[in-house]
Chains A and B, each alone.
Chain A
Amino acid sequence: MRNAFFIWKREVLAYLQTPTAYAAMAVFLVIGGYFFSVFLINTQQADMRPFFGNMGLIMLFISPVLTMRLLAEETSQGTDEILFTQPITYTQAVLGKYLAAVTVFLIMLLISGVYPIILEYYGNPEWGVVMTGYLGFLLLGSTFLAVGLFTSSLTDSQMVAGIIGFAVLLLLWVVSWAADTIGGTVGSILRVMAVTEYYQDFRRGIIDTRNVLFYLSFIVGFLFLTGRMVEKRTWGS
């Protein structure tokens, strides 16, 4: 576990020392701030729900940007052999890198905590609903990051990783949206995969263990696949 911690630390420092993370955070805050203030001003309601609704889509763009370098870079720079000849397991490496991305995401979320504080200053927001919304958003974003990490493990090129990541996430998004419109058996199958559907409950202020479980399984699943993929690529033919 200490190894995972080292990887984590190394990656977080890497994030903090390159412009990517800051740019991503700034974009997140600009767009988030815009949504937040426009909704607040127009509806005059102390409500974070519209913010959460729109930011899900933004995370779709930001996640690949954050994760694309995590594994692709190693492979392209050749540092992956160095990394993996160390006495660490694939699991620890993947975990460390993943958690680093999540940490950056958490920092973004924490900074966005200014918004509900503004609401509290001017009005009377429902804190239970706000915290639940953040929980859901955290889970959704973490899921996107796990998918992004996986796509990063598929290729040498950061660019390709980013594009594939974005494509996969977009596909997931579309599936969720389509699941709502298409009825019948196909619709029900799609609805199971509808990543954003599970998010709706959180947005409204409902914590359902089913939804939490879904996101955690999704994350575990993709991290597992990432591990397999890394192993295969490093020692494969």
Chain B
Amino acid sequence: MHRLLSGALLALGVILLLSALGGYVALGVLAQWVRIMAVAGAVLVLGGLAASWRQVVAMVSSTRFQKGTASTLFTVAVVGILVLINVLGARFHHRADMTRAGEFTLSEQTRDVLDLLDRDIQVTAFFAADSAMRGDVSVLLREYEIHSRHIRVEYVDPERNPSKAKEYGITRSGTIVMETGGRRHDVTPLSLYQIGQSAEEIQFRGEQALTRGIMELTMQVGANIYFLTGHGGPSIYERIQGLRSYLTGEGYNVGEINLAREGALPEDADLIILPGPRRDLDALEKQLLQEFLEEEGRLMVMLASVAQASPQPNLKALLESVGIGVNDDVVVDPTRSYFMDPTSPVPRYEDHPITRRLIDEQLAVVFPYARSLEILESEFNGWNVRRILASSRDAWGRLNWEEGIDREDGDLEGPLNLGTIVYRQLDEEEKEERAQDPLMGLLEDRHERGLVVVLGNMDFATDDLLGFQGNLDFFMGSVDWLLGEKQLISIRPKMPAFTRVFLTGQDVRMIFYGTVVALPLVVLVAGGFIWFRRRRL
């Protein structure tokens, strides 16, 4: 009876303890009942031991028990050593990427950025369980985690865990939130994928988006962009929503402002964009913008086509003050045009950080119904003016465009300027500042400070055309260049090896029956043969 009682006490006690443990693990917190159970369990176990005290003593002093314990301890020790080896191995491990394209190897730029990382970054990836993007992203984030101790990744399914998603203000699956010391940067799904050369080719640009995000978080900047309204051009809530989405996705703050109504530019404006203005600036606007430029504020102007725009003397005067003239023409380019439509020229690139990626990846930009620009002065007050987009030599700038596009005497001669920029070299102080920040040192070609970008076209950036080949890249590249800083890190996606096969119907049959039927049959026959021979003997 005694034995039974103590046995029962022990058993009950152990069950209570295990349940308490289970409860703690399931709830994640030491609830009241968990505590009570644990204490009760412990009491019962001790009680059970006490009740069979003599048996316990006898057992412990027996050689069997001692040998058994020694043996158990030995086993535990061996297991412990194996665990230790693995822990050490985790610290000092070597990882080899055997894929041809190095798909799992982080680019040098990313590795540099990660090596310079000196603070912890918490990454929270909000992906629905069935998200197609999750695979690519998780593989990539794993490499980041492995490469740097400072990166910690957590996955949240917004459908399973809506409260957390709400806490972070996440509206779409696929957003990756990066946080460090109170600052936060979101990588939106839009910046993870970009269109390659053909419309079907979608490239995963996660590495670029993530590394830029890290730089954004750990460097000081975060720019404010304002689109001017009130001139009849497209709005960021309407025909150029894409621009707003992508800019916000890159971490910029984007807003609209009607300058004539407000009477002043926002104090925090880093970049002002004039999207396809059809009406002219009024005198106040021109003056405000002039002052803005004098204080080295950045400006981007995308001109509306001459058919849609009024004469715009104020706007032209503003641009003339930075050495750029605007022609009232329609660029006709029979040699470089889109789908044989000579009024949709495909500009030629001049080598520059803005155009470099487009040149490398052979991505085209199209400027339907564009105007040409003039470089009135290639240099003034320490600022340089140059073009980055040009038409072909055979193009002409049609002045009497209402009467058709055929060339006439007096029309402007190619090559025509379709995109121009104003910039200056960095002065010593700025170079010093750059040199001090090691992250800055990773950026390519950061010797210039941009001021103005003027493009002879607006339509390329509207939602209809933004997805065409290099249009988006070109726009973003121009913005990034103007605002300077980290965004110019451009990381090429890895191109996985081409492994397509082409099978005929016969091939299919052969492969299927060969592997599913023939091969196993051979094995069975061989086995049967050996078995049969053995039986004979």
Q: In the assembly, what is the distance between CA of A214 and CA of B517, in Å? A: 36
Q: In the assembly, what is the distance between CA of A221 and CA of B155, in Å? A: 32
Nearest CB on B from A119, distance (A) = 7
A210 within 8 A of B: yes
- Asked if residues A129 and B500 are in contact (CB atoms below 8 Å), the reply is no
A132 within 8 A of B: yes
A126 within 8 A of B: yes
Q: Looking at the complex, which one of B25, B502, B507, B515 makes contact with A33 (CB distance below 8 Å)?
A: B515
Q: In the assembly, what is the distance between CA of A16 and CA of B155, in Å? A: 48
Nearest CB on B from A233, distance (A) = 13
- Asked if residues B499 and A45 are in contact (CB atoms below 8 Å), the reply is yes
Please, which residue of chain A has its CB at the minimum distance from the CB of B129?
A181
A225 within 8 A of B: yes
Query: Which residues of chain A have a CB within 8 Å of any CB of chain B?
Result: 16-19, 21-23, 25-27, 29-30, 32-34, 36-38, 40-41, 44-47, 111, 114-115, 118-119, 122-126, 128-129, 131-132, 183-186, 204-210, 213-214, 217, 220-221, 224-225, 228, 232
- Asked if residues B89 and A37 are in contact (CB atoms below 8 Å), the reply is no
12 A-B residue pairings within 8 Å (CB atoms): A29-B519, A34-B515, A40-B501, A40-B503, A46-B500, A123-B499, A129-B100, A205-B98, A205-B104, A208-B93, A210-B93, A217-B82
Kindly list chain B residues whose C-beta atoms are within 8 Å of the C-beta of A34. 515-516
Q: In the assembly, what is the distance between CA of A37 and CA of B521, in Å? A: 16
Q: Looking at the complex, which one of A16, A22, A126 makes contact with B497 (CB distance below 8 Å)?
A: A126
Kindly list chain B residues whose C-beta atoms are within 8 Å of the C-beta of A184. 28
Known: A45-B500, A131-B98, A209-B93. Contact between A111 and B511, CB under 8 A?
Answer: no
- Asked if residues A19 and B527 are in contact (CB atoms below 8 Å), the reply is yes
Q: Looking at the complex, which one of B85, B86, B511 makes contact with A118 (CB distance below 8 Å)?
A: B511
Q: In the assembly, what is the distance between CA of A29 and CA of B517, in Å? A: 9
Kindly list chain A residues whose C-beta atoms are within 8 Å of the C-beta of B82. 217, 220-221
Nearest CB on A from B435, distance (A) = 37
Nearest CB on B from A145, distance (A) = 18
**Beta-carbon contacts under 8 Å, B58-115 to A:** 71, 75, 78-79, 82-83, 85-86, 89-90, 93-100, 103-104
- Asked if residues B527 and A41 are in contact (CB atoms below 8 Å), the reply is no
Please, which residue of chain B has its CB at the minimum distance from the CB of A232?
B71
Kindly list chain B residues whose C-beta atoms are within 8 Å of the C-beta of A217. 82-83, 85-86
- Asked if residues B523 and A26 are in contact (CB atoms below 8 Å), the reply is yes
Kindly list chain B residues whose C-beta atoms are within 8 Å of the C-beta of A204. 99, 103-104, 139
Q: In the assembly, what is the distance between CA of A46 and CA of B93, in Å? A: 31
- Asked if residues A128 and B93 are in contact (CB atoms below 8 Å), the reply is no
Q: Looking at the complex, which one of A26, A29, A126 makes contact with B499 (CB distance below 8 Å)?
A: A126
Please, which residue of chain A has its CB at the minimum distance from the CB of B501?
A123
Kindly list chain B residues whose C-beta atoms are within 8 Å of the C-beta of A46. 499-501
* Pairs of residues from A and B, 4 with the lowest C-beta to C-beta distance, nearest first: A22-B527, A33-B515, A128-B98, A123-B501
Known: A131-B98, A228-B75. Contact between A183 and B524, CB under 8 A?
Answer: no
- Asked if residues B75 and A114 are in contact (CB atoms below 8 Å), the reply is no
Q: Looking at the complex, which one of B75, B95, B519 makes contact with A225 (CB distance below 8 Å)?
A: B75
Q: In the assembly, what is the distance between CA of A123 and CA of B500, in Å? A: 6
Query: Which residues of chain B have a CB within 8 Å of any CB of chain A?
Result: 25, 28, 71, 75, 78-79, 82-83, 85-86, 89-90, 93-100, 103-104, 139, 154-155, 497-503, 507-508, 511-512, 514-517, 519-521, 523-524, 526-528, 530-531, 534
Kindly list chain A residues whose C-beta atoms are within 8 Å of the C-beta of B498. 124
- Asked if residues B512 and A37 are in contact (CB atoms below 8 Å), the reply is yes
Kindly list chain B residues whose C-beta atoms are within 8 Å of the C-beta of A17. 530-531, 534
Nearest CB on B from A32, distance (A) = 8
Known: A26-B524, A124-B497. Contact between A16 and B97, CB under 8 A?
Answer: no
Q: In the assembly, what is the distance between CA of A151 and CA of B508, in Å? A: 42
Please, which residue of chain B has its CB at the minimum distance from the CB of A119?
B501
Please, which residue of chain B has its CB at the minimum distance from the CB of A192?
B86
Kindly list chain B residues whose C-beta atoms are within 8 Å of the C-beta of A122. 501-503, 507
Q: In the assembly, what is the distance between CA of A129 and CA of B99, in Å? A: 6
Q: In the assembly, what is the distance between CA of A111 and CA of B11, in Å? A: 52
User: Which of A17, A33, A225 is packed against the most chain B CB atoms within 10 Å?
Assistant: A33
Q: Looking at the complex, which one of A44, A205, A225 makes contact with B103 (CB distance below 8 Å)?
A: A205
Q: In the assembly, what is the distance between CA of A32 and CA of B95, in Å? A: 29
- Asked if residues B99 and A30 are in contact (CB atoms below 8 Å), the reply is no
Kindly list chain A residues whose C-beta atoms are within 8 Å of the C-beta of B527. 16, 19, 21-23, 25-26
Please, which residue of chain A has its CB at the minimum distance from the CB of B157?
A181
- Asked if residues B499 and A37 are in contact (CB atoms below 8 Å), the reply is no
- Asked if residues B89 and A186 are in contact (CB atoms below 8 Å), the reply is no
Nearest CB on A from B95, distance (A) = 4
Q: In the assembly, what is the distance between CA of A214 and CA of B84, in Å? A: 11
Nearest CB on B from A172, distance (A) = 16
Q: Looking at the complex, which one of A30, A125, A128, A221 makes contact with B78 (CB distance below 8 Å)?
A: A221
Q: A41-B508, A123-B499, A208-B96 are in contact. List 7 more A-B contacts (CB 8 A).
A: A44-B501, A118-B514, A123-B500, A128-B99, A205-B98, A213-B89, A225-B75
- Asked if residues A41 and B512 are in contact (CB atoms below 8 Å), the reply is yes
- Asked if residues A33 and B516 are in contact (CB atoms below 8 Å), the reply is yes
- Asked if residues A205 and B97 are in contact (CB atoms below 8 Å), the reply is yes
Kindly list chain B residues whose C-beta atoms are within 8 Å of the C-beta of A18. 531
Q: In the assembly, what is the distance between CA of A141 and CA of B507, in Å? A: 31
Please, which residue of chain B has its CB at the minimum distance from the CB of A27?
B520
Q: In the assembly, what is the distance between CA of A26 and CA of B523, in Å? A: 6
Q: In the assembly, what is the distance between CA of A124 and CA of B101, in Å? A: 14
- Asked if residues B512 and A206 are in contact (CB atoms below 8 Å), the reply is no
Known: A128-B99, A210-B89. Contact between A224 and B78, CB under 8 A?
Answer: yes
Q: In the assembly, what is the distance between CA of A217 and CA of B530, in Å? A: 36
Kindly list chain A residues whose C-beta atoms are within 8 Å of the C-beta of B523. 22, 25-26, 29, 111
Kindly list chain B residues whose C-beta atoms are within 8 Å of the C-beta of A214. 86, 89
